[in-house]
Structures are given as C-alpha cells and as structure tokens.
Amino acid sequence: MPSLKEQLDQMVKEVQPQVIEWRRHIHAHPCLSHQEGPTVAYVQDILRSFSDKLIITNPTEHSILADLKGGAGEGPMIALRADMDALPLEELTDVPFKSQNPGVMHACGHDTHTAMLLGAAKVLCAVQDKMKGTVRFVFQHSEEASPSGAKQMVAAGAMQGVDMVFGLHNDPSLAVGRASSRPGIASSAVIDFNITVHGKGGHASAPQLCTDPIVIASDIVMNLQTIVSRRIAASKVPVISVTTLQAGTGSFNVIPDTANIRGTIRALSDEGERDAPRMLEKTANAIAGLYGATCTFDWPEVVYSMRNDPKCFEIMKKVCMEKLAEGEASFVPIKEPMFGAEDFSEFERVVPGCFGNFGVKNEAIGACHDCHNSSYKADEAGFVTATRIHVGLVEELLIPA
C-alpha cells in the first residue's frame, strides 16, 4: 500500500489539471484591488465543492478564510495565504486565456497563487481525518494597492488563533521545480512621502518679491540625500528616491505658490524604518524655514519590511528539500532581501511566518518577463511545486508520522 507521502504526491499531481483550469479562468477575468468580488464568488464556489467540513467566512468584503479542522485531534492552526488581485495593465501576451477585462491583467501571478492554494485545499480535504489541528486557507484581497488587504484582514481577526503563517509567490527568474526563501528580513519597508512646499508666487521678473518654492524644493531634494550618505550608519542605510517634482502651470513668467515633491523610502533596518522619515521631515522643514517658507507632509500607508521567522524558514526549507522532485537541489537560498514590497509582512508582524518563491521560468514560451510586465507569463509546469509545498507544510506540521 502506498505511503501517505506517496498518496499526497499522487493527489497533488492529479489535481493539477483543475489548478490550471482555475488559474486560466481567474487570469481571463482579473479584478483590481478592492474590486475582487467576482474572484471571491468563484473561489468560494470551488471551496464549497471540496467538503462540507470547510468553514468559509469573509473577514472583509473581498477576502476569504476557509478553515479545515483536522479529525485526528487537537493541534496548532497553520495559515496558508494566497493573494487574488490584478494590476492596471493591458495584457500583451498571446495566451488563449488572456485577460477579457481591458486594462486589467494578472501580471504578478496572483491568479496562480489562488489556484494553487485551491489545489492544496482540495488535497488536504481528502486527508482531513489524518490531521491534528487546523489549516486556515487565506485568500487575500488588495496586495497591490493601498489600503493593504493584509492589514485589513489582520484588523478583522484573520490571524486570531493562528500559530504560523506561510505564503508563496511565483518567480519568473527561477527554474521550474525550484523554490527559494531566506530567514530574517526578506523584503524592504516601503515608506512613500508627499511633501508640499508653501512659498509665495509672483512675477518671474521680480523674484526678490517672491518666496520661490521651486528653488526651495530643489534644495530639499539635494539635501535629502545627506540622510543616506551622512546621517545613518552605512550598514543600516535606506534608499531615498525622489520620483516626482511638480510646480507651476507651464507659464514662462509666473513663479508658483507651491511645489510638490513625491518619492519613496526603502529600508531594511529598524533604524531606516524609524529614523529616515523623521529626518526627512526635519530636513525639509529646516530648508523651507531658511527661505521663509513652510512644508506640509502626507505619508501614505506604510508597508513594513517582511521578516521571516527563523524556525518557520527552516520548516519551509525542510519541506522543499524533502517533498520536491530534486531534493536538496530544489531549494535555492536567497542571499539578499528584495527592495520590493510585500504586505505579507502584516501577517508576520503578529504571527511567526515564512514567505518563499517558486519557479515558473521557461524562456522557450516567453515565461521570463518580470512581474508587473504586460508580457508576463508563467510556466504552468511550475504550479505543482507550490501546491506540493502548501500540502507539505501541513503534512510536516499537522499530520503525525
């Protein structure tokens, strides 16, 4: 008789045609952040078909929790998360299931994440009687936009009772069959800023009668770089980038009243997260004051750095090496944190967790473009990897040997 591992391996393989079918449907019908209603309805219908033992709730309007309590006794609660939202991009691929919603595309692969977590849910429902503890399947809205879906779900109680949380993201630069992660800080904090310089406008022929906000804003932009180069230790230094400087109406002879500076801070340390915004405000206010101007500040929602718990990382690493086809070669350690944002960090701020990647690269079919690219593709042969990791995490933590 096949061992449980062999049975699970077989079930993961058998569910893949459905995973691909679900993924293609979601890909063809993408929904933007905070507009995921059709995807939520589709996913809930599929979940209901698996088992009447799945307890399905909606902690927010556009998110889903599905709890599967094991039949073999009490144990911990393990959460597995997938995100569901798409991006405001026009799809440029030639796949037959390309987006049917103009200007909206699953260019970050959240359709794949959702489908593979559905696949894991179906497999795990079949072995529910062997589980000690509970699996919470987390289908999250709005990973791509503010307000953060993860933050809203945490506020709604999605992590209550959870002992560990795990998440996976597709990686078009990683070979099919491989997975990757790192302990500790895995992604940077993202702290966007919007500074308005309030001066005094007037005629360009008499600048002495004005408080020119363009000159002041330019001075502020240059001095913000001293925060990076001179005011925080090099080992803790953040990235501060000004990406927009706007002022005036296009007239050749009018000095405007205000100028606007927008940009982002990316930080991989507590010092960077805590001190850089404070230093930015202090610098801008001091320079504006020298000219007799003032500044106001708008700080959009912060996405904090993602920090993988060392114990959870070791569990994910072990599962990848033991459950994936290439054994130890299946797991690729990540050397450096990414400077992109991932609001999975909101879950990790309240519950120990680990976030990893799985490979979907295949240059022969054009599956090699970065996420957030209109030509993004994912090799469907890689989907079995994530499904097996999800199932393997539950097998490792909730199913006695």
Q: What pLDDT is recorded for position 269?
A: 87
d(CA 258, CA 217): 9
Is residue 313 located within the same domain as residue 290? Answer: no
168 forms beta bridges with 356
CATH of the domain at 252: 3.30.70.360
Q: Residue 225 pLDDT > 70, yes or no?
A: yes
Is residue 25 located within the same domain as residue 158? Answer: yes
Q: Name the band, by pLDDT with cuts 50, 70 and 90, for residue 228.
A: confident
Is residue 198 located within the same domain as residue 170? Answer: no
**pLDDT > 90 in the chain, percent:** 91
Q: Residue 345 pLDDT > 80, yes or no?
A: yes
Distance of CA 307 to the CA centre of its chain: 13
Is residue 75 located within the same domain as residue 222? Answer: no
Is residue 145 located within the same domain as residue 207? Answer: no
| 363 included as an active-site residue | no
State the DSSP code for 229.
I
Q: Of 133, 140, 95, 91, which is closest to residue 113 (Cα–Cα)?
A: 140
Q: Residue 357 pLDDT > 70, yes or no?
A: yes
Read off the pTM. 0.92
On average, the pLDDT of the chain sits at 96
Residue 80, Ramachandran bin (φ over 0: left; ψ between -120 and 50: alpha; else beta): beta
In Å, how far are 94, 314, 322, 393 from 359, measured between CA atoms? 21, 19, 17, 18
Is residue 138 located within the same domain as residue 244? Answer: no
**pLDDT > 70 in the chain, percent:** 100
Strand bridging mode 77-83 / 134-140? parallel
Can you tell me the mean pLDDT for 384-389?
98
Is residue 164 located within the same domain as residue 38? Answer: yes
91, 342, 346, 380: the catalytic one is 380
Is 108 one of the annotated binding-site residues?
yes
Is 322 one of the annotated binding-site residues?
no
304, 342, 348, 376: the catalytic one is 304
| 36 included as an active-site residue | no
Number of domains in the chain: 2
Quick: pLDDT tens for 269-320.
888 888 899 999 999 999 999 999 999 999 999 999 999 999 999 999 999 9
Is residue 274 located within the same domain as residue 340? Answer: no
Is 203 one of the annotated binding-site residues?
no
Final residue before a domain boundary, out of 271, 303, 335? 303
Is residue 200 located within the same domain as residue 106? Answer: no
Strand bridging mode 353-361 / 164-175? parallel
Is residue 384 located within the same domain as residue 242? Answer: no
Q: What pLDDT is recorded for position 234?
A: 65
Q: Of 212, 208, 189, which is closest to residue 199 (Cα–Cα)?
A: 212
Domain span holding position 377: 4-187+305-398
CATH of the domain at 157: 3.40.630.10
Q: What pLDDT is recorded for position 235?
A: 67
Is 34 one of the annotated binding-site residues?
no
Final residue before a domain boundary, out of 303, 330, 352? 303
Quick: pLDDT tens for 68-91.
999 999 999 999 999 999 999 999
d(CA 236, CA 337): 13
Q: What pLDDT is recorded for position 340?
A: 84
Is residue 200 located within the same domain as residue 101? Answer: no
Final residue before a domain boundary, out of 281, 303, 325? 303
Is residue 48 located within the same domain as residue 67? Answer: yes
